[in-house]
């Protein structure tokens, strides 16, 4: 069974203070690892898909990286509008199209 563990559960940063969120996963063959952002009262918003170890993707202040066991979401010089819950999900070869989600990291950026 695919498993995803995210850490920390919550993170408070000062505006401009860079940090990283962790997503550790166990899957029988990785088809894709997905990062989503979720604002309160809204549905998850797609950010990135990573397919293989060593791959990196960037979007504004966010950069996602992937190894064979974990993924990191690096946030550089964050702004208050980056405050949200960040969710990680995996799709494995034996799980058809379903995504297995972690419980998320709640990020708060203090002005």
Task: Determine, following the binding rule CB under 8 A, whether residue 94 of this chain makes contact with other proteins.
Answer: no
Give the interface segment with other proteins, choosing from 7-15, 18-26, 39-47, 75-83 (CB under 8 A): 39-47
Least distance (Å) between residue 59 CB and other proteins: 13
Distance of alpha carbon 46 from alpha carbon 76, whole angstroms: 19
Task: Determine, following the binding rule CB under 8 A, whether residue 86 of this chain makes contact with other proteins.
Answer: no
Query: In terms of CB distance, is 78 or 104 closer to other proteins?
Result: 104
Distance of alpha carbon 101 from alpha carbon 105, whole angstroms: 12
- The two three-digit tokens of residue 97, written as one number: 């199209």
Q: How many residues sit in the footprint of other proteins (CB under 8 A)?
A: 22
Distance of alpha carbon 4 from alpha carbon 25, whole angstroms: 4
Bridging pattern class, strands 70-75 and 100-101: unpaired
Task: Determine, following the binding rule CB under 8 A, whether residue 91 of this chain makes contact with other proteins.
Answer: yes
Task: Determine, following the binding rule CB under 8 A, whether residue 106 of this chain makes contact with other proteins.
Answer: no
Residue in 2, 23, 62, 104 binding other proteins, rule: CB under 8 A:
104
Closest alpha carbon to 44 in 101, 5, 98: 101
Distance of alpha carbon 99 from alpha carbon 111, whole angstroms: 34
- List contacts with other proteins (CB under 8 A): 31-32, 34, 36, 42-46, 49, 51, 87, 91, 96-104
């Amino acid at each position: 069974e695919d498993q995803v563990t995210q850490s920390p559960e919550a993170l408070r940063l000062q505006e401009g203070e860079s940090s990283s969120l962790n997503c550790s996963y166990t899957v029988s063959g990785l088809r894709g690892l997905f990062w989503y952002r979720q604002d309160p009262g809204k549905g998850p918003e797609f950010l990135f898909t990573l397919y293989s170890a060593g791959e990196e993707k960037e979007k504004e202040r966010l950069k996602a990286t992937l190894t064979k066991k974990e993924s990191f979401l690096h946030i550089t010089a964050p702004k208050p509008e980056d405050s949200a819950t960040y969710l990680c999900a995996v799709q494995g070869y034996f799980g058809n199209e379903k995504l297995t989600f972690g419980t998320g990291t709640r990020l708060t950026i203090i002005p």
